Amino acid sequence: MSARGRNLRIMKRLLIKKTVFAASYVILAVLMEIITFLVMGLGVLPQYFGLDLAVILVIALIIFVLPHEAAQLSVLSAFLVFQIILSITNEALYSMSGMVFSFSMLNLLNEVTGVMDASFVNWWLIVGMILLFGASLAGLIVFARRYTVPKGLYTRNVIILLLVAFLLAECCAGILYAFTIDSFSALADQEEEDRLSIFYDESELYTDQKFTAKAFSEFGTYGYFVVNIGNSISSDTYVDEITEEDLDAYFSQSRMSRSVYGDNIYTGALDGKNIVLIVIESGEWYAINKEYTPTLYAMAEGGIAMTDFHARDKTNCSEALSVMGSYTSITSLEPSNILDNSMPYTLANVLGNSGYTSNYFHINDGSYYKRSEVFGGLYGYDNTYFLEDLDLLPGNSEKNGFYDLDKDSNVFRYYSDEFTHSEDGPFFTQMMTLTTHGSYNDLIDYGNYPFTETPSARGEVSSGEMTEDEKEEFSERCQVKELEEYYELIDRFPSTYVSGTHGIDEESLEENELYTEMFLRYKRYQAGLMDLDLGINMLVKDLESSGELADTVFMFYADHSAYYDQMNYAMKGIDDSEFYNTDLYSVPCFIWYGGSMDLKVEPLALEEYSAIDYTAVKDKGSALKPSKITKFCNTYDILPTLLDLCGYSYNTGLYHGVSMFSKLEGVFISHESGIFIDDIYFSTIDVYVENGDSWECYPFDETYSAGGFGDYVLDFLYSAADYYDKQEMLDAVLKLDYFADRDFFGGSQIKYIEKV
């Protein structure tokens, strides 16, 4: 064979080898995408797969032109591993909360990894992806060794040929990308302006990615993340065009709350009263019961319970909603990133202007979510207390990781004076609890303290005492320490719940053979709430002794449900595929006021637990009476409710939500995933409507374009769109630091807030 013929044969062999590497990457990337979408329940491939495929082809072409097989295999492996990690992460996030990964989450990496739990991970997906990747990589390595090509083939002509082929192929990929973008749904091209276009305009979804799960489902892994990375790096936002003059007009046109609520007998009912605001970590109504948390139960049953209250957000976000009345849609504007901004409209700043001393407590590190900077600076609390500040807590300096949780009761045991501290006026103290944080596996892993047997069905009682050695071993090994005194009292599920709320669905647990497993998780969780109950019991007795109880109001609400190990599904008897069932997100919220509400508590068999026999006499004429508020309420309503009760009329453009004591209702928009009211859940992909005992699913784009939604659903969707319009203005307030040079409390032509 001539030299020319031999060179052509070798060149052909080289091109085949390069093509195999590049084609293998394309096949594997697409196959992994299909597996991911099928496991996540999003179909087979993204709607606009051309975007995904175009990026995959670009990567394949880079692999093709790389000169050495080691470099080709390295790049191929790196991108596939990257895709596998994203697939596993997205599946875990989507199954847990309906969200997908965004690179803006990297600023919360320490917080997320600190509480990550293996129960969130789909191990079958991991094993499948690893096997697919490992087998394919091994096959390519074997192929590379057997299909060898002599070195020194990269002459100038060869390089020119490869570059020309690369550029032509890149142009084809670019054309595919552009063609796919041009093919975005024509639904967004309607001539008339449509209030709901935010939910179907693919061009806006593609560039702004306000709805990450929908963007991922429509554009695929690479189609989504190419823009996501760019948005995370860029400082540009979709509120850049809003000016201070636009905000002036916005607030000028917004009504004051007094004119919206009308003559509300509750307005000013708590003017000048001490306020205790407790955010219950992972709170559930079934854990507030007469058997194990009698003080909280009595305050909810004898106070004002919002039995249709909902929450679904990360803890820091739920906290922020009660402090600032909103939460930004833009990562660069999150509280921890705008510490120098002026925020006079937070609850602490508004109350502080009326003479309140504000205190904040949380027994986790102050660096977590940058709380020490956010609450002490931006939010305006006078005094903040975190783990590093609470030297009297037992073992304060010997904590072993996140799950070595201190007890919430220790705040009330050792820092009651600081908790109720005030200078000259009333106090406002907020506490974010911690002991009920998941996971709840201590008793599963280390034994049913103090028993050796566990109830396996209703009516059974835990039995068989542990030996002292077994108890000591348990105490040493369990993650959350010093809850044994509560475990001693819990031998079965409770039976007496706050009226109007749902208890534990024991029948469903039995049918699904989850009774024992969930009882042990419940027991750990319930013990955490018992510890808070003990702390509140001590606080009530202290305030009664000091004579301040009659001038103090307590408000409790949960940041989100107990979702670890999908406990919220199991305990409520909801199938784990029904993420749209809004009962999952129904959590506690209640108010108790010592001026007009009695409190009778039979003590638990705990050394520090006290009986309470309190009769209110000071403010019996108050409008606040024991009752149940059964309308739909949510986390956005906390701040407006407290301002209303404290006698403020506020510019409704400042906050989402409404006073729970008004006749109005809002919608709940989760910053994780989901927009909902009682009987409608909108994932931004599908609309689920409750119909009797079942939920019906309507694909949003198809149903809306066909005019298939009735007025009730449309009104709900319009309210959701209104939320995003308002949030855009509130994001601009943060972006422009709008209140830096404005007199928020008076003297301005625009009214922001005033005493009624």
Question: DSSP letters along 546-611, please?
Answer: HT-GGGEEEEEEESS---GGGHHHHHHT--TT-TT-GGGGB--EEEEETTT--EEEPPPS-TT---
Give pLDDT, residue 61.
81
CA distance 252 to 249: 5
- Which among 527, 523, 529, 513 is positioned nearest to 448, based on CA atoms? 523
SS3 388: helix
CA distance 134 to 607: 59
What does the DSSP 8-state code read for residue 623?
S
Asked whether the beta carbons of 50 and 177 are under 8 A apart, the reply is yes
Which amino acid belongs to residue 89?
A: T
Asked whether the beta carbons of 676 and 687 are under 8 A apart, the reply is no
Q: Quick one: CA dihedral 82, 85, 89, 94, positive or negative?
A: positive
Q: What is the pLDDT of residues 64-107, one digit of tens each?
A: 777 777 888 899 899 999 999 888 888 887 876 777 877 766 65
Asked whether the beta carbons of 653 and 729 are under 8 A apart, the reply is yes
CA distance 515 to 504: 11
Structure tokens at 24: 């293998």
Cβ-Cβ contacts under 8 Å for 147 (sequence gap 6 or more): 13, 16, 17, 20
Say how many residues make up the chain: 756
CA distance 440 to 437: 8
Q: Is the pTM of this model over 0.85?
A: yes
CA distance 631 to 657: 13
SS3 283: coil
| Surface-to-core class of residue 176, CB atoms within 10 Å of its CB (0-12 exposed, 13-18 middle, 19+ buried) | middle
The H or E element containing residue 642 is helix 638-645
Omega cis (within 30) before 439: yes
CA distance 435 to 108: 21
What does the DSSP 8-state code read for residue 375?
I
CA distance 700 to 196: 11
Domains defined for the chain, CATH in brackets: 3-183 (no CATH), 249-678+710-755 (3.40.720.10)
Residue 682 bridge partners (DSSP): 675, 687
Asked whether the beta carbons of 42 and 87 are under 8 A apart, the reply is no
Count of C-beta atoms within a 10 Å radius of residue 35 = 18
Residue given tokens 């108050």 in the structure block: 622
CA distance 112 to 255: 40
Residue 687 bridge partners (DSSP): 682, 698
Cβ-Cβ contacts under 8 Å for 365 (sequence gap 6 or more): 386, 387, 388
Q: Which residues of the chain have pLDDT under 50?
A: 111, 113, 115, 187-188, 191
SS3 305: strand
Give pLDDT, residue 21.
81
CA distance 498 to 300: 7
Planar angle of CA 484, 487, 493, nearest 5 degrees: 165
Residue 427 bridge partners (DSSP): 357
Structure tokens at 348: 């602490």
Structure tokens at 108: 């919360």
